Structure 1
């Protein structure tokens, strides 16, 4: 589970709010994973993953537009990382998800949480510091 901390803030309110929402989507998936009362989680997992994919695309577009406005020098690197993340989420094999939903969701969450934390802390934090 991800808890938003002030240290994750990059200092751009609009982007910070969107990052918080990405945490919320990830936490919805985490809560579903840990819910032992739900036996068939497939449809809910698919919906959460679709929400994550759609919101991430929206967020990356917003972030990239902001970087373009401030002439951020690392915009092309950011775009490439964003595209790779979207591809990874879009390439989810729903057959594997159906075979073992908990394990597959756990693997996806590990990837998503790790990527978001690394990207926010090591890439996005530089946006406000290195305006072109």
Structure 2
């Protein structure tokens, strides 16, 4: 039985822009599970082209999210940005490889194993590397709030712009 993925508040990084995008990605994956899972009606599941297209769209949405996340990291001067960007590149390479395998297999039902792979692929990053970034983001915010000296004005403005969605 398909176990639909839903957003849980404890996954929040308390960075509105990032959390909103994470929620959207989780919803997009849940929609794929619903439309193409084993319990889907025969007119919804069983269409390999539509399923692969939906999974391709999910991958592109993640790629765009990673791009915006990297822009945010750049804007606030995140010191571990290179490592985080490398993880993004590896995640996208993994997903591209998985998508190729699914395409070659003619995947037409998004079964529980495929769902679990996709769910873990997204959540492991959100709950791992993204949490590390959020911690640094909030520590920087706290330091800037406490000091707000002239040298911090530009960084403070960048941080606020990043919060508003660049």
**TM-score, length of structure 1 as denominator length:** 0.85
Quick one: distance in 1 between partners of 2:113 and 2:70? Answer: 28
Quick one: distance in 1 between partners of 2:50 and 2:27? Answer: 15
Q: Match of 2:13, SS?
A: coil
- CA shift digits 1:28-61 (9 cap, x unpaired): 2211213042352212211111111111111000
1:120 aligns with: 126
Structure 1 segments of 4+ aligned residues over 6 angstroms from their partners: none
**Structure 2 gap segments, 5+ residues each:** 141-166
Q: How many residues align?
A: 129
User: Cα RMSD over matched residues?
Assistant: 1.9
**Structure 1 gap segments, 5+ residues each:** none
- Is the 1:25–1:51 Cα contact (8 Å) retained in structure 2? no
1:95 maps to 2:95: no
- Is the 1:28–1:48 Cα contact (8 Å) retained in structure 2? no
Question: RCO greater where, 1 or 2, for CA within 8 Å and sep 6 or more?
Answer: 1
**TM-score, length of structure 2 as denominator length:** 0.70
Quick one: distance in 1 between partners of 2:33 and 2:79? Answer: 35
2:153 aligns with: none
